[in-house]
Amino acid sequence: MTALELAAGRAGFSPRRVGALILRYLYLMRGSWPRLLELAYWPMLQVVMWGFISRFFVTNSSWVAQAAGVLLGAAMLWDVLFRSQLGVSVSFLEEMWSRNLGHLFVSPLRPYEFVIAITVMSLIRTVIGLMPAALIAIPLYHFSIFDLGLPLIAFFANLMVTGWAIGIAVSGLILRYGLGAETFAWVAVFAISPIAAIYYPVSVLPAWLQTVALALPPAHVFEGMRALMFEHVFRWDHFFAAAGLNALLLGAAAGIFLFAFGRARRLGKLMQVGE
Amino acid sequence: MDTVIQIQGLTKRFDAALAVDAISFEVPRGSTTALLGGNGAGKTTTLSMLLGLLLPTAGAIRVLGEDMLRHRHRVLPRMNFSSPYVEVPRRLTVRQNLTVYGHLYGLDRVGERVAALARDLDMVDLLARQTGKLSAGQRTRVALAKALINDPAVLLLDEPTASLDPDTGDWVRGYLERYRARTGATILLASHNMAEVERLCDTVLMLRAGKIVDRGSPAELIARYGRHNLEEVFLDIARDRPRVRTAAQ
């Protein structure tokens, strides 16, 4: 039996197929310096701007003065969420723009392998995009996000997963409604930004909106970050709440994507999608 | 000769439109079969269902003995396809595209396979070029290379020589003949090109409005309709003209 016939008989998950797709996105990134530049451009701009705003507030706000990096840290963590969602959506859109979904899904690639590949790419894009911003904040504003220590990993992971969930759900919508729904990829995450408690505590919101905010993982992450920076405690309750809500969100997003994929197969959209 | 593709009562309905209407056919191993019909006859829809890109409303599809609706991933590594409607990504180089697909199909020694295919398809000098910057004929070669990357036992081709000049079209047809002779692959193609079908195919399935309205070898169909070539037969069927009554009937 040849290797190909053995492969034919394999029914399960294949890291190699996931790797093949990641290789495709890395080739795309490598072949276009504007894409690489774009990854780092906005996060760096955000950090520069929020750095100056922080400097101003340190001398004009007793709240910010207690933890000078709170706004910069929030800006960086918000970008984790945004970049994570965009990383998933852009990889998916690459396949729509290049009319490649038909080729991909007549290969042995499974839908869940495709989703894993675009989430891994999202991680790579987020790290490439945010690392320069995190590093320039150190000499410019004497703020290092890495000083958060191990809790940074918890915040980062939770926000990444939220971004993946939104990105996967948006990809499902685009699969279902075509490139007319592409705008969701760029704006969906901003729908939750007013209640994500990024730059202000949840307590600022009206009581009924606080309930909504705390039903979403980002509010717990940002509350957790502020607790760490102001009170120097890691709030496990916020961590577990964010992780639990993320599990639900990710499950719902996977359901939306698989439903949209099934619907696309019923309507014949996998062959038709494109610009 | 055993059967590689078995289609039974295959039906696809899009809302009120019946795109494929309870068709049944079999394709023997090592043969080339054509789905022939006008625009909207159901050729591409049938191919899409065979590949699993489109779910049928009713019917059964078996490829290489497997039920495609339930176990298509057991068969997909041994199938491949090419269609002018599904492009090979334009922004990657030819080598990068073929490398990605080689890994997706789980090949060993992908680099060697890409190099061998490039020699075989006379496209060594295209490997480093961006796919989107190639001419239509060159892109067709790349699409064919992608379709052959896994040495498929079952090859589905949707209009394999559409928009090609006669020379390139002839080259592609010649290559497909040699490929089938060398590997014993089974080929199912949808085409509007009658000369292509006459040259390549053992069996022709004539489709109209989602139904198979006639079938046979090109020579049998030409004789049955009392015509000189397949194009005339195609026009008879497309215009719903009755076939010539033969002694056997």
Tens digits of residue pLDDT in A159-213: 999 999 999 999 999 998 888 888 888 999 999 999 999 999 999 999 999 999 9
Question: What's the pLDDT score for residue B147?
Answer: 95
Give domain status of residue B172, yes or no.
yes
Give domain status of residue A211, yes or no.
yes
Q: Residue B44's domain spans which residues?
A: 3-82+153-238
Instruction: State whether residue A35 sits within 8 Å of chain B by CB.
Output: no
0.80 exceeded by pTM: yes
Residues paired with residue B35 on neighbouring β-strands, in sequence order: B190, B205
Instruction: State whether residue B65 sits within 8 Å of chain A by CB.
Output: no
Give domain status of residue B35, yes or no.
yes
Mean pLDDT of B34-52: 92
Q: Angle, to 10 degrees, between the axis of helix A33-60 and the axis of helix A70-97?
A: 160
Residue B153, pLDDT > 70, answer: yes
Rounded to the nearest angstrom, the minimum Cα separation between B100 and chain A is 5
Question: What's the pLDDT score for residue A10?
Answer: 52
Question: Of B206, B248, B200, B213, whose CA–CA distance to B231 is shortest?
Answer: B206
Q: Residue A237's domain spans which residues?
A: 14-272
Mean pLDDT of A87-98: 92
Residue A2, pLDDT > 50, answer: no
Give domain status of residue B225, yes or no.
yes
Helix locations, chain B, DSSP H: 43-51, 68-75, 94-104, 110-120, 136-148, 166-183, 194-200, 218-224, 230-238
Residue A262's identity, in one-letter code, is G
Mean pLDDT of B10-29: 95
Q: What gap in Å lies between CA A201 and CA A226, rounded to an integer?
A: 8
ipTM attached to this prediction: 0.88
Pick from B55, B75, B93: CB nearest A265: B55
**Mean pLDDT lowest for which of A31-45, B42-56, B139-153, B201-215?**
A31-45
Residues 156-195, chain A, touching B (beta carbon < 8 A): none
Q: What domain count does chain A have?
A: 1
Give domain status of residue A3, yes or no.
no
Question: What's the pLDDT score for residue A1?
Answer: 37
Q: What gap in Å lies between CA B96 and CA B86, rounded to an integer?
A: 17
Give domain status of residue B198, yes or no.
yes
Residue B102, pLDDT > 50, answer: yes
Give domain status of residue B206, yes or no.
yes
Residue A67, pLDDT > 90, answer: no
For A170-211, what is the HEC assignment?
HHHHHHHHHHHHCHHHHHHHHHHHHHCCCCCCHHHCCHHHHH
Rounded to the nearest angstrom, the minimum Cα separation between B95 and chain A is 11
Residue contacts between A and B (CB atoms, under 8 Å): 119
Question: What's the pLDDT score for residue A270?
Answer: 82
Give domain status of residue B139, yes or no.
no
Question: What's the pLDDT score for residue B200?
Answer: 93
Our CA dihedral for A39, A40, A45, A46, rounded to 10 degrees, sits at 70
Give domain status of residue A63, yes or no.
yes
Indicate the pLDDT class of residue A275, thresholds 50, 70 and 90. Answer: very low
H-helix or E-strand containing B205?
strand B203-208
Give domain status of residue B111, yes or no.
no
**Mean pLDDT lowest for which of A186-195, A208-217, B155-164, B197-206?**
B155-164
Q: Return the CATH number at B23.
A: 3.40.50.300
Indicate the pLDDT class of residue B248, thresholds 50, 70 and 90. Answer: very low
Instruction: State whether residue A104 sits within 8 Å of chain B by CB.
Output: yes
Residue B202, pLDDT > 90, answer: yes
Q: What gap in Å lies between CA B195 and CA A51, rounded to an integer?
A: 70
Give domain status of residue A9, yes or no.
no
Give B101's contacts (C-beta < 8 A, 6+ positions apart): A20, A103, A107, B146, B149
Residue B1, pLDDT > 60, answer: no
Kindly report the CA angle at A137 between A136 and A142, in degrees rounded to 5? Answer: 125
**Mean pLDDT lowest for which of A145-154, A175-184, A245-254, B64-73?**
A175-184
Task: Say if the Cβ atoms of B100 and A265 lie within 8 Å.
Answer: no
Residue B186, pLDDT > 70, answer: yes
Give domain status of residue A4, yes or no.
no
Q: What domain count does chain B have?
A: 1
Give domain status of residue B93, yes or no.
no
Kindly report the CA angle at B239 between B234 and B245, in degrees rounded to 5? Answer: 75
Using CA coordinates, name the residue in chain A closest to B158.
A271
Give domain status of residue A82, yes or no.
yes
Contacts of A175-184 with C-beta under 8 Å, sequence gap 24+, read: A175/A92, A175/A257, A175/A260, A175/A261, A175/A263, A175/A264, A175/A269, A175/A273, A176/A260, A176/A263, A176/A264, A176/A269, A178/A269, A178/A273, A179/A96, A179/A97, A179/A273, A179/A274, A179/A275, A182/A93, A182/A96
Q: Name every chain A residue with its beta carbon within 8 A of the beta carbon of B44.
A: 271
Indicate the pLDDT class of residue A269, thresholds 50, 70 and 90. Answer: confident
